[in-house]
Amino acid sequence: MRLAGICFIIFWLTACGTKQEGNTVKREPFILATTGSFSINPYLDSITHAFIREANCKDCIYEMYFDKQDDTDSKVTLHCIPSYPAYMQVNKPILFFNVDSIRFFVYTGLEDFAVLHNDNDTTTHLKASSSLTEHVWAVVTTKDSTYVVHDGWPPFIKMQLKPDIKFEAPGGVK
């Protein structure tokens, strides 16, 4: 009797939240949430503000790609492109945050595995912008350093980007 009760409980727990349709089992969607409120660190915040100043395009689309490549290396790509009406349907961003009055759509790779069920975003209807320029910066963090690379495109590819600024030792020391 005890074994039958345990088997029933296991069956009931595994069956909760599922629906059987034909030969497939459908599970109820899970809700993506955060562990609490957060903000980007001061270094990335200052770089983001500098990027916004350089791009200087209020009606453009701003994107941020987070790419943790391994335990010590990561890359954050900041991208500003002219706005176009089909952006939301083509790219399907699921995360965003605002820096001052600029909305950054955030990409982590999760977009390829998630289906947006509830579109509560007010930017679903974008208009074409008058700007024709594109801006890209990459913030590269390694075990030993952090630096910014202009034109550090594309995201999600492991590659060694080099800093734009070449530093030389003072006094001609080699």
Read off the pLDDT of each residue in 5-31 and give the average, rounded to a whole number: 55
Lowest mean pLDDT: which of 28-32, 120-124, 133-137? Answer: 120-124
Say what the pLDDT of residue 26 is: 66
For residue 162, tell me if it sits in a domain: no
Confidence band, pLDDT 50/70/90 cuts, at residue 12: very low
State yes or no: pLDDT of 11 exceeds 70: no
3-class SS of residue 147: strand
Domain that holds residue 68: 42-150
Confidence band, pLDDT 50/70/90 cuts, at residue 142: confident
Say what the pLDDT of residue 8 is: 45
**Is the CB of residue 126 less than 8 Å from the CB of residue 61?**
yes
For residue 160, tell me if it sits in a domain: no
pLDDT (tens digit per residue) in 55-70: 999 889 999 999 988 8
Cβ–Cβ contacts within 10 Å for residue 80, how many?
23
For residue 26, tell me if it sits in a domain: no
Read off the pLDDT of each residue in 90-113 and give the average, rounded to a whole number: 88
Give residues with Cβ within 8 angstroms of 71, minimum separation 6.
none
Determine the Cα–Cα distance for residues 22 and 66; give it in Å rounded to an integer. Answer: 39
Say what the pLDDT of residue 6 is: 47
State yes or no: pLDDT of 50 exceeds 70: yes
For residue 170, tell me if it sits in a domain: no
Q: How many CA atoms lie within 13 A of 15 on its CB side?
A: 7
For residue 138, tell me if it sits in a domain: yes
Say what the pLDDT of residue 91 is: 83
For residue 33, tell me if it sits in a domain: no
Q: How many domains does the chain have?
A: 1
Read off the pLDDT of each residue in 86-113 and give the average, rounded to a whole number: 87
Angle made by CA atoms 127, 66, 149, in degrees to the nearest 5: 90
Confidence band, pLDDT 50/70/90 cuts, at residue 21: low
Angle made by CA atoms 7, 9, 14, in degrees to the nearest 5: 95
Q: What is the DSSP string of 28-48?
A: PPPPP--SS-----HHHHHHH
For residue 2, tell me if it sits in a domain: no
For residue 24, tell me if it sits in a domain: no
Average per-residue pLDDT in the chain?
A: 76
